[in-house]
Amino acid sequence: MEGCKGNPSLDMTIFPFFIPHQGCEQRCVFCQQHRISGVPNAPTPAQVAQQLASILPPQSSGEVAFYGGSFTLLDVSLQRDYLACVTPFIQAGQVGGIRISTRPDACSPEVVARLKTGGVTTVELGCQSFSPEVLRLSQRGHGPHDARQSVLQLRNKGMRVGLQLMPGLPGGDFAEARYSLAQALSLRPDFLRIYPTVVLAGTALEQSWREGHYAPLTLEQAVDLCAELLWHCRNSGIPVIRLGLQSSHELDGEGAVVDGPYHPAFGQLVRSRLWRRALESAARSSGGRQVQVAFADLSDAHGHRRSNSDYLMRQFDSFEMVAADGVMRETFIMLGRNYDVMSQACYLQPLSTAADSMDDGAPAFIGSL
């Protein structure tokens, strides 16, 4: 089970099932879902029903999720069987609905109507990028317009929509990542997932990397970039429910990740970067060298392995963080003044929805295939 936090309408429990590569008619250059999910084979509808009977609580507003693959490209009879095996639990009030993930070009009106009838309440679209060139180099097989059209179709049926983005794909750069996020935010999704591209063993991207045609983001670049993207999402009121690939035994195993910004605590690294920006900004403007934060925020404020504390000590020679009662989450007190983390971590460069904004002088550190 996993939690889905960041927005009251999304505070629900997810009961996930993985169907890696199922329904995928082609293999994208970056994809290796067996390693990502740790699941070698998709469960049958009967196995899903059997497991749900053992794990679902008597009452829940959560969702049964079918992750991985392209659900709407499965054989129609198999789609219906998967959805039907969840129906009795929805009717019993043990779960509130079904979540599926699929491709942006696999949501025709007919498909969306079938999902709605089958109890689907949320659809996650693997957009990855809104740059036609990046999508082409990644061998996605669809264009940016497909995502826009699918969001419209799903919204018309009253379903929640989540979008997935992958900064650092072949042909991309900082400007492309900002542009793709601007396009995604303009569609007003219910939530986003942001996965910086990682080179996984056994992918076409690994071969390109070995041949010297592709260079992924470094961890530091990815943290900096995703902190900026997260700030814009928060500023737009769109929750990001996942930053970076989820740590697993398979991903953490030797040789699974060949290169790129994989880190088991990537989400904390990104949140901590916003805290670092905020604390440094307030310290420089106020002259304060001690800060009070909420107990629940102390870990992010200190940074992973106290990296923020060490950084601020280098900048100011002395800097102290303490947890205190009465401090609101994502705020801090310095010299008796209350500060908001998001305001202090402000990024001055706005996102642009103009296509020509992708040529803004940002470093093009990502190779192409």
Structural domain total, the chain = 2
The pLDDT of residue 254 is: 85
Same domain, yes or no: 191 and 111: yes
Residue 94 inside a domain? The answer is: yes
Residue 208 inside a domain? The answer is: yes
Give, for all 369 residues of the chain, the pLDDT tens digit.
444 433 434 447 999 999 876 655 666 788 765 545 445 678 999 999 999 999 999 999 999 999 987 899 999 999 999 999 999 999 999 999 999 999 999 999 999 999 999 999 999 999 999 999 999 999 888 899 999 999 999 999 999 999 999 999 999 999 999 999 999 999 999 999 999 999 999 899 999 999 999 999 999 999 999 999 999 999 999 999 999 998 888 888 888 999 999 999 999 999 999 999 999 999 999 999 999 999 999 999 999 999 999 999 999 999 999 999 999 999 999 999 999 999 999 998 888 755 544 543 333 334 434
List the CATH number of the domain containing 234.
3.20.20.70
Same domain, yes or no: 319 and 223: no
Same domain, yes or no: 98 and 148: yes
Alpha helices in 144-218, H assignment, sequence order: 144-156, 174-186, 204-210
Residue range 37-50, pLDDT digits in tens: 445 678 999 999 99
Range of the domain at 145: 2-264
The pLDDT of residue 361 is: 37
The strands making up 120-128's β-sheet, listed across from edge to edge, are: 2-4, 12-18, 63-67, 97-102, 120-128, 160-165, 191-194, 240-243
Residue 280 inside a domain? The answer is: no
The pLDDT of residue 41 is: 77
What does the alpha-carbon distance between residue 333 and residue 282 come to, in Å, rounded to a whole number? 10
The pLDDT of residue 354 is: 54
Residue 250 inside a domain? The answer is: yes
Same domain, yes or no: 161 and 98: yes
Residue 100 inside a domain? The answer is: yes
What does the alpha-carbon distance between residue 14 and residue 17 come to, in Å, rounded to a whole number? 10
Query: Are the beta carbons of 344 and 288 closer than 8 angstroms?
Result: no
Residue 238 inside a domain? The answer is: yes
Same domain, yes or no: 95 and 212: yes
Same domain, yes or no: 175 and 314: no
Residue 274 inside a domain? The answer is: no
Same domain, yes or no: 154 and 9: yes
Same domain, yes or no: 190 and 331: no
The pLDDT of residue 248 is: 83
Same domain, yes or no: 81 and 208: yes
Query: Are the beta carbons of 268 and 298 closer than 8 angstroms?
Result: no
Q: What is the residue type of 294?
A: A
Same domain, yes or no: 182 and 320: no
Q: What is the largest CA-CA distance in the chain?
A: 66
Residue 275 inside a domain? The answer is: no
- Beta-carbon contacts of 86 under 8 Å, excluding residues fewer than 6 positions away, are 48, 49, 52, 64, 95, 98, 119
